[in-house]
Structure 1
C-alpha cells in the first residue's frame, strides 16, 4: 500500500495515524499472511479488538443521543432499553458494515494472496470496518472520544435513524431551539415514535415496522414543520392520542393505553423488565412495570413475554384508576360541596 492510498483512507475515516503501519495491517488478508508464513501480519487481531470497540463506541453514541443525567443525578433514557439494544444490533450487524465498506471502497485496498479474491465473502468486507477501528484504538491509545468519532464517520454511509436525528438536532442548535426529545413504544407488530419540540410546543409522531422507520417518520414530520416545506398542521398531544387509538380497527391494548398516558404526560416514562420462573415444571415470564419515579410498580405473569407485558400494563392501568378514585374520594370528604377543580387547587396549595 503506497503513501497516496494511505492518505486517501485516512481522509475517508477522518483520522491521521501516528503509526501508519497499523493502518496497512488493517488491510492485510489472512491469505497473504499464510503465503508469507506470517512474516506479514494480517488484520484478524485488529478485527478482534475492533469488534469490541465498535460495540462500545455505538453504545456511547446512543447514550449521548438518548440519555442524560437528570436534576436528581440519575441517569435516564428517553428510549426503552430494548429499543436501544435493537438499534445497537442493527448498527453493528455484518450486512451494514459490509455496505459501509462497499461505499468507502475499502475492499479495493485489501491485500490478498493471488487467487483469493473470490474466497472473500460479503461479511469479510464488514471485517475491514472492525479492523480499522482496532488499528485506531491501538494508535490513539484507546481514546474513546476518537473511537466514537471514527465509528460515526464509518457508519454514516448508510441511511440511518441517527443521521436523520442528527440533522434535526443540528437544525435546532443552529436556530437556538430546544433540542428534541424522543419517546418510543412497541405496539405489537410495529413501533411508534414521538418527537417533542418544546420551543414550538409541537409533538410529532411516526410509526414503522422497525424503531428506525418510526423515528425517521417522526423526525421527517418535525423537520418538515420547522423548515416550512409542505407544512402540515403539527400534531397536538390530543391528536397524537387519537392517532394511537385509531391506528387499528381493534381496541387499543393495555400497553398502548399506558404509552398514551405517558405521551399525554399523565404519568412519567414506563419501564418494563422481564424475568423467568418455573412452576410445576412449566416456565412463566414475569414482567415488572415501573414508572421512572418509582411511584408505582406492578407485575404481570404469563407464558409469553408479550402476554406478561400486557398483564403488567393492565395492572398499572387498574392501579392508576384506583389511585384516581381514592384521590377523588378523599377530596370529596375533605371538601364537600366544592367542585373537583377547586378541590384539586386547594390540595395543591396545601402540598406546597
Structure 2
C-alpha cells in the first residue's frame, strides 16, 4: 500500500473472557491465509450477538466489527485513490460504497465459506441466519478487525487485497459497481428506458419472511429476484436486468 501507514506493526488482543476455539478454526484460518491468527480471537470474531445472549453473555463480535469496518474502508479507499488517479471524489466514493456494501461482503463470506463457522443463537439458526447478508457482512468485518488487532494494518491489508481486489476490479468495470439498482438506473437512463419500477411480494410469517421481486424497465419485465429482505431481492433482480440489457445492447438488432 502506498498511502496507509502502520499504526503498529503488531498488536495484542485485548484481555477478556476466553472463548473455546472451534475445531474448524484451523480450516478457516487457512482459507483466510492467516494460519497464525489466535484461534480464540477468531472465535470472538465469529460470535454473533444471538449466540452471546443465549450463552451467558460471552463477548460478541460487534466491537471487532466496528474496528474491521474502518480498517476495510481505509484499505479500499487507499487502493482506489492510488489505482484510479483519473476519477473524481464522487466516483471514488461510489466505488468504495459498492466494494464495502453488505451485498459485496456477504458474497465474499459465501465464497470463503464463513457462514458455516459463525456462532449463532438458536433463533437465528432456525431462520437461516448463516446465509443472511447482514450477518455474513458483519462477520467479515469482525474477522478483519481481529486480524488488525493481532497483526496491525499491514497484515490486515494483505488479507484485504487478496480477498477484495477482484471485487474492486468488478466495481470499477461496472461504474456504480455492486450497487446493482444504481447501475440499472444508469443504464436505463442512458438508453432512454425510463426509471426502473420494482414489484415486490413478501411471503411467510414475520419471523421468517422472504421476498420475490421483478423489475420493469421500458416495456420489458425482468423476474427472478429473491431474498430475505426487500433490498436483497431488489438488488438481485436489478443485477439480472442489468446483465440482460447489457447483453442486448451488445447484440446487433436488439
Q: TM-score range by the shorter chain?
A: 0.5 to 0.7
Deviation of 1:20 after TM superposition, in Å, equals 2.2
Provide the C-alpha distance between the structure 2 equivalents of 1:137 and 1:37, rounded to a whole number of angstroms. Answer: 27
Q: Is the 8 A contact 1:50 1:130 kept in 2?
A: yes
Q: Which residue does the alignment assign to 1:10?
A: 29
Unaligned runs of 5+ in 1: 67-76, 166-207, 214-246, 249-352
Q: Which has the higher strand share?
A: 1
Provide the C-alpha distance between the structure 2 equivalents of 1:161 and 1:150, rounded to a whole number of angstroms. Answer: 14
Q: Is the 8 A contact 1:47 1:130 kept in 2?
A: yes
- The counterpart of 2:156, out of the listed 147, 162, 165, is 147
- The counterpart of 1:36, out of the listed 31, 55, 58, is 55
- The counterpart of 1:51, out of the listed 60, 69, 80, is 69
Tell me the TM-score normalised to structure 2 length.
0.55
Unaligned runs of 5+ in 2: 1-19, 179-189, 192-254
Provide the C-alpha distance between the structure 2 equivalents of 1:111 and 1:8, rounded to a whole number of angstroms. Answer: 15
Deviation of 1:6 after TM superposition, in Å, equals 1.6
Provide the C-alpha distance between the structure 1 equivalents of 2:65 and 2:53, rounded to a whole number of angstroms. Answer: 17
Cα separation, partners in 2 of 1:91 and 1:33, compared to 1, 3 Å: same
> 1:58-207 to 2 correspondence within 5 Å?
58-66=76-84, 77-117=85-125, 118=127, 120=129, 121-140=132-151, 143-156=152-165, 160-162=167-169
> Structure 1 segments of 4 or more deviating over 3 A?
1-4
Cα separation, partners in 2 of 1:32 and 1:4, compared to 1, 3 Å: closer
Cα separation, partners in 2 of 1:20 and 1:56, compared to 1, 3 Å: same
Deviation of 1:164 after TM superposition, in Å, equals 9.6
Higher RCO structure, 1 or 2 (CA under 8 Å, sep 6+): 2
- The counterpart of 1:210, out of the listed 148, 154, 175, is 175
Provide the C-alpha distance between the structure 2 equivalents of 1:212 and 1:116, rounded to a whole number of angstroms. Answer: 30
Provide the C-alpha distance between the structure 2 equivalents of 1:44 and 1:107, rounded to a whole number of angstroms. Answer: 16
Q: Is the 8 A contact 2:98 2:171 kept in 1?
A: no
Tell me the TM-score normalised to structure 1 length.
0.40
Corresponding residue pairs, total: 159
Provide the C-alpha distance between the structure 2 equivalents of 1:48 and 1:209, rounded to a whole number of angstroms. Answer: 28
Cα separation, partners in 2 of 1:81 and 1:34, compared to 1, 3 Å: same
Provide the C-alpha distance between the structure 1 equivalents of 2:115 and 2:80, rounded to a whole number of angstroms. Answer: 28
The root-mean-square deviation of aligned C-alpha atoms, in Å, is 2.9
Cα separation, partners in 2 of 1:57 and 1:132, compared to 1, 3 Å: same
Cα separation, partners in 2 of 1:85 and 1:21, compared to 1, 3 Å: same
Provide the C-alpha distance between the structure 1 equivalents of 2:49 and 2:115, rounded to a whole number of angstroms. Answer: 14
* CA offsets 1:117-148 (integer angstroms, 9 cap, x no match): 116332111111100011011111xx222122
Cα separation, partners in 2 of 1:116 and 1:163, compared to 1, 3 Å: closer
Q: Which residue does the alignment assign to 2:207?
A: none
Deviation of 1:92 after TM superposition, in Å, equals 0.5
Deviation of 1:33 after TM superposition, in Å, equals 1.0
Q: Is the 8 A contact 1:61 1:148 kept in 2?
A: no
DSSP-derived class of the 2:122 partner: coil
Provide the C-alpha distance between the structure 2 equivalents of 1:19 and 1:209, rounded to a whole number of angstroms. Answer: 38
Q: Is the 8 A contact 2:21 2:43 kept in 1?
A: no
DSSP-derived class of the 1:41 partner: coil
Q: Is the 8 A contact 2:171 2:177 kept in 1?
A: no
* CA offsets 1:270-298 (integer angstroms, 9 cap, x no match): xxxxxxxxxxxxxxxxxxxxxxxxxxxxx
